Every structure is written in structure tokens, then in C-alpha cells.
Amino acid sequence: MPNWASMLGEAVGLAIERRVQEIVGEVVAPYGLHVDTGGKRPGKRAGEKLLLVNATGNKYQIDTVVEDDAEQPLILIECKYLRYKKHNKDKASWTCVAHYKLRTTYPTIKKSIAILLGNWSRPSIALMQSFGVEAVEIPFSCIVESLKTRGIEFRWDEKDTATPQESWGTFDALSETEKSAIATECIREHETEIRKLVLDAVHLDPNSPRNVSEIELLVRTTQNEYFVRHFSSVRDTLGFLLGLTADRQDLKGLL
């Protein structure tokens, strides 16, 4: 039996994602940048999925990537829809790991953006923000109200299967123009914020001075243990590393 609730949520999320991609395209077009949204791309990929590979060979599928004129990633953008908060941690964690690993591989990436649709918890949003992902929240209520004006119910009990099936049927019968209108309504109040986030990344001057704000040092021992240390200056980092150069057989107590 089809999962009508999942089908409807995915369809609405996809419509909103497409509208976000249109907005991003409008913002970056004057700068000659390319917006990659997946699909076959001669000379770049043969498959449909937009995959970026990190330094260790792991592949991450990204919804939208803005590329510079050398076809290097400049901005990573995800649209994530959630009906139930119980799935927050999984989706938030994936976004944190994927974007962090890719940013350590591609120094050209200036910004990570997550368009969060539906019910997201404050801890999950804070987790993503701690990894440098800038979040734009589209509340569940906005989607509910937009669909309601078309006679589509989007609130139902988790065990209810009749309402989702009826709602899917009504939504699926809408024209593509009407589906696009729903997406536009859902993000109208946040469109300016999305445009600004993208534009801020585009306007970053590649020739402007750069100074160290933080150093994250990862140390792996012969016992396959991982230790992470954070430093605010190069001097402090070197001091820590010099402390590990002493002639000793065991680093216990120093990490």
C-alpha cells in the first residue's frame, strides 16, 4: 500500500526546493555562476545524482550547489522536510557531517545553507548552526495554511491513512502552476533572507585579508583513538604540538 503521507510531504518539499533553486538562480545569474541541481551533465557526470566527494572518497548527495567559474563549489544548499520531530537528529546530523567534510575538502565553499521545512527542534537547528550551516526555517503551519486554501488537509494523526490518501489525490490533481504557487506562498516571507544569504557568499572578496579565527586539530593515536583540540592562535597550536615531540613512548595524559 502506498505511503500517501510520505508521497505528499515529498511532493510539497520538492516543489519548495525547486522554487528555492529558482531564487538562487536569479541571485547568481548576474555574476556568471552556475547552479547545479543534478541531472546528467556532459563532461561532469553521467548519472542523475549531484554527488560531491570528500578527501577520503566518501560521496555526499547535495540538493543544490552554486559553482564558481572554475566549476568549484561555492555554496551548498539543502532543503529538508520533516513532519515529525523524532527524525530531527538523523537529518540534522547528516547535514552537519556532509557539509563539514565537504568544506574541509573544498576551500572554495563559502557558505552552507539549510532550508528547513516543517517541524524542526531548536536543538537540531542549533547543532547545524554549530557546524557553520545557516538555517532558514519554513514552519509547518505555513505549509498547512497554503494547502488548506486549495482544500487539502495537511494535519492528521500519525496512524490516520484515509486523510493522507485523500489529500494526496487532491494535490496530485493540481496543475504544475498551482503547485508552484503553493511553494511560492510557503517561502514568501523568507525569500529576502534566502537571497541575502546567497548574495553575501557571492560578494565575499577572494582578495580580502584572511586571519586565523580558530584552529581545529585532530590527532589519531596508534590505538586508533581520536582527539580533537581547538585553539584560537597559531602560537598556542604550535606550543601544544611541540609538547608532543618529547622523546616518550606514551602520550597518555598529553591528549
User: Interior CA angle at 242 toward 237 and 245, to 5°?
Assistant: 140
**Where would I find the beta strands (DSSP E) of 69-188?**
73-82, 111-118, 133-139
Q: Which residue in this structure is represented by grid cell 545557516?
A: 134
Cα gap 62→247, rounded to integer Å: 46
Query: Which run of H or of E encompasses 14?
Result: helix 4-28
Closest alpha carbon to 216 in 103, 93, 53: 103
Domains, the chain, ordered by start: 4-202 (3.40.1350.10), 211-255 (no CATH)
CB 186 within 8 A of CB 143: yes
Q: DSSP letters of 118-140?
A: E---HHHHHHHHHTTEEEEEEEH
CB 73 within 8 A of CB 115: no
Check residue 162 and give its pLDDT.
94
Cα gap 234→147, rounded to integer Å: 54
Q: What are phi and psi of 235, to 5 degrees?
A: -60, -45
**Full pLDDT tens readout for the chain, 255 residues:** 789 999 999 999 999 999 999 999 999 999 999 999 999 888 888 888 999 999 889 999 999 999 998 999 999 999 999 988 777 888 899 999 999 999 999 999 999 999 999 999 999 999 999 999 999 999 999 999 999 999 999 999 988 999 999 999 999 999 999 999 999 999 999 999 999 999 999 998 767 777 888 888 888 888 888 888 889 999 999 888 888 776 566 767 666
Q: Which residue in this structure is represented by grid cell 552556475?
A: 34
